[in-house]
Amino acid sequence: MPKQFENLTASELFCPRCRTARPVRERLLLVLPHSELYDYRCTVCGESCGSREVSMNPVLAARAAQAAAKRPKQPAQTVTRRPTRGFLR
pLDDT in tens, 20-73: 999 999 999 998 888 899 999 999 999 999 999 988 777 666 776 777 777 777
∠ at Cα 48 (47, 51), nearest 5°?
Answer: 165
pLDDT at 42: 96
What's the structural domain count of the chain? Answer: 1
Q: Is residue 84 part of a domain?
A: no
pLDDT at 19: 95
Q: Is residue 86 part of a domain?
A: no
Distance in angstroms (rounded) separating the CA atoms of residues 31 and 36: 5
The pTM of the full predicted model, rounded to 2 decimals, is 0.60
The range of the structural domain enclosing residue 20 comes to 12-69
